[in-house]
A and B are shown apart, each in its own frame.
Chain A
Amino acid sequence: MLRMESVTRHYTLRGRKVRALENVTLEIPRGDFVSVVGPSGSGKSTLLLTLGGMLSPAAGRVMLDGQSVYELTSEDRARLRRSKVGFVFQTFNLVPYLSALENVQIPLYLNGMAPAEQTRRAASLLEQVGLGDRLDHKPSELSVGQQQRVALARMLANDPAVILADEPTGNLDPETGETVLGFLEQLSREGRTVVMVTHDMRAARRARRILKLVDGTLSNGRHPSPRAG
């Protein structure tokens, strides 16, 4: 279970205080699929990073499976991220000088898996996303859709319970975007918690629940009426 308790986060930019999150409280049960919508600059990415143990809040707590994330040491928090959290980025953030296979190996390496085992698991993950014949390709040698699939395989490498996706369809054509959304739905059905940030209402409606963020504040958490898909 993922919970935010009165989380506040500000940035200071050239001496000015910028509000990113203001007293946000929310609870996401295990296996839920939640989308977060809101205008640009409303704090969506900040919310996601805070949920994922990447950004400590100025006030409040973030609880993951009963553990207060920011009361851990930073190394323990890193361990928590690599065992429980999978991030999906709008621009995929593949490491440009590593092959598809090596990109997927990163989280496995970080988790201390032996090299031979890493290679086996990474290859099988890429196979699952249909890239079994692209193992040695660099990101620059892959299409945008293929890059996103590598990123998804990498995100799944350590079998995370919580998936945090920041505009996962923002850079994709509608068709590939559709594939990614279907993928997230499937992961949610498998019992993983999925939080997806998007400004595309059509994508947002694929979730079980929509949270609206305006100027760092959660406005309401409503259930979309007839669930599409």
Chain B
Amino acid sequence: MRLGTIVWREMFERRNQLFTSFLAILLGISVIVSVKNITVYSEKAVARELDALGANILILPKSASLQDYYGSDVQEDVFPEEYVARLAGSDLEGLDNLSPKLSMPVELAGRRFTLTGILPRNEFQAKASWQGAGIFTRPLGCGAVDIPGAVAPPAQETLVRRRVIDRLGEADALVGADVAGHLGVTASDTIRILGKPFTVTAVLPQTGTVDDSRVFAHLHEVQRLAGKGPVINAIEIVGCCDQISRGLVQKINLLLPEAKVVTVAQIVDTQIRTNRMMSRLSLLFLGIIILVGGASIANYMYANVFERRREIGTLMALGAGSSVVLRMFLLKALLLGLGGGIMGYALGTVLAVILGPRIAGVPVLPILWLAPAAIGIATVIAVLASYFPARRAARLDPTLALQEI
């Protein structure tokens, strides 16, 4: 026999009494776990949405509107490519994946498509004046999310979706799915656009957006074809939500007064608000579970100590010091916390996976790191709440405990 045997036998024998406080900690932990679990996935979902949009700050000519841009992204108005240098050379923080674009309508095999010039990443790096500005020190795709289970698309396609690619030769083209279908071309074929031959380096997967009817080519080549000089009609920026909420847009406005700076404000705003709400909710539940669960355990433990005073007296008479008695009750609290934590994690995860899609509209998968957190919280609460009852047991007056009835 060990101390654990005594503790375990007692808990099992009197499991009915244990039930309420166990339930309190179990439910508390499962609520926290499921709220947290859903929050994490809803954050991921929003971040993924942002990511899918490719940019959350747009710099457009004064006359353009956001709707126009997402509708077709072809505007008559342009502004100088030099704006990019101005942004890159500034000390603004929170800019990532700065991506200038020039789009123009082209006709290919009798259908209208869009030719979009983009600047590959290696050209940014080649420009000495842009180096050290901190643009590319961040890993590519601030806000990019890994979704377990979702297969990451091949690198090149992902990068195009974000409008930043590493390398694109002056005679290379990336072809949208619709364009490729219409023209019947595949990778390494050659297509002629406005009389100039381009080598198809990749056919992009179907996205269901305007990108499907787009041909991406090198910005400078498109500028030549457009014949308007070194101009662009949009700069897309992935800004970090934090900085956006702290006035990044206004700062860009000051830097580029002749352009129009818009943000996908609503999405950013919703994300921030949802996240804030959810994390407040988690905190609230944490507070409640500490109070309710802790109080319930403390109450149960006091009652348990009182009920077992004769038994404690007996153990002392048999030679148990107060440290054994203290350890006995703390071990019981530990087991209670471990049980509540493990089962709370399991229940909370099941709830999150089932309810997540209904409540938050996002698919939810189990999060492993929540397990140690849940077990840790439950154990700490149970042990802390049991400390004073355990100490009372350890200091019990044996004469009271052994008084014959």
Contacts and interface: CB of A to CB of B under 8 A. Distances in A.
14 contacts: A54-B398, A54-B402, A74-B321, A81-B319, A82-B318, A90-B404, A93-B311, A93-B402, A96-B13, A97-B10, A106-B315, A110-B320, A115-B2, A170-B404
Nearest to A73: B321
Contacts, number: 97
Interface in A68-107: 74-75, 77-79, 81-83, 85, 87, 89-91, 93, 95-98, 102, 105-107
B13 to A, nearest CB: 4
Contacts of B399: 45-46, 49, 54-55
A107 B405 contact: no
Contacts of A108: 1
A67 interface: no
A167 interface: yes
Contact of A78 (B13, B321, B403): B321
B9 A98 contact: yes
A76 B92 CA distance: 70
Interface residues of B, number: 30
Interface in A106-122: 106-111, 115, 118
10 smallest CB-CB distances across A and B, nearest first, come from A82-B319, A78-B321, A97-B13, A93-B314, A105-B1, A75-B321, A87-B317, A81-B319, A54-B398, A110-B319
Nearest to B319: A82
B319 A107 contact: yes
B4 to A, nearest CB: 11
Given A82-B319, A95-B314, A97-B9, A106 B1 contact: yes
Query: Which residue, B310, B324, B402, has most C-beta atoms of chain A within 10 A?
Result: B402
B321 A107 contact: no
Interface residues of A, number: 39
B383 to A, nearest CB: 22
Contact of A102 (B5, B314, B319, B398): B5
A102 B1 contact: yes
A209 interface: no
B201 interface: no
Given A74-B321, A89-B404, A91-B405, A97 B316 contact: no
Interface string A41-58: 000011001001011000
Given A82-B319, A106-B1, 8 more contacts: A85-B319, A89-B402, A89-B404, A93-B313, A95-B311, A107-B319, A109-B2, A111-B319
Interface in B305-356: 310-311, 313-324
A166 interface: yes
Contacts of A109: 1-3
A154 interface: yes
B404 to A, nearest CB: 5
Contacts of A217: none
B1 A79 contact: no
A158 interface: yes
B251 interface: no
Interface string A120-157: 00000000000000000000000000000000001000
A83 B318 CA distance: 9
Contacts of A167: 404
Contacts of B317: 52, 54, 81, 87, 89, 93
